[in-house]
Amino acid sequence: MGSERSTPSVGRRVGYLVAALVNVVLVWAASRVDEWFPGLFSGAYGDVLSWVTASLWATVAVNVTWAWRDPPWWRHLGQAGLHAVSILVAQRVWVVFPFDVDDLARLGLRLLIVVWAVGALIGLGVELGKALDLGGSREPGGAYARAGAPPDEPLAARHRGRRRRPPARLRDRPPHRV
């Protein structure tokens, strides 16, 4: 895995640090949102706030570590961990349901929580799959071997410099004259 980039470029580092800073601002905002919208939340908002805050601080920590080192396997594992935390927070919001809204809005918010949890679950599976495939993709039976690439040559490198052949429907046409 010598070609694996472990030190992020300057642009990526800035992106990770900006994401961490945005999440710190969201921690501050989450602690005050019940004051800004007094009728929206019930008294149970404090029970959910610690979970939301922990999730945001986890995102800050992961982004800071990515700013330091970001090999692909670490990015995928970090993202999978954040998806797992997100699923836990969604479950807690579902149980506590800290919103003081009418029945139609309650139904809509419950639907959004389900979409949130299902999306995080799918993301968790995808990121774990990517993390696990990166480690063994060059082994016999891995993704590169299934595609027919030599174990030490990335699939894209095999096609570098080759000219694409036009589709069959265009191959037999006479050349276009201007």
- Give me the residue spans of the domains in the chain: 10-151
Residue 97: what pLDDT? 84
Residue 159: what pLDDT? 56
Residue 1: what pLDDT? 43
Note the pLDDT tens digit of each residue in 142-176: 554 445 545 555 555 555 556 667 677 766 767 67
- Output the pTM of the full model: 0.68
DSSP the chain: -TT---SPPHHHHHHHHHHHHHHHHHHHHHHHHHHHSTTTB-TTHHHHHHHHHHHHHHHHHHHHHHHH---HHHHHHHHHHHHHHHHHHHHHHHHH--B---HHHHHHHHHHHHHHHHHHHHHHHHHHHHHHHHHHTTSTTSHHHHHT--TTS-HHHHTTTPPPPPPHHHHTSPPP--
Show the low-confidence residues of the chain (pLDDT under 70).
1-6, 134-164, 166, 170-171, 173, 175, 178
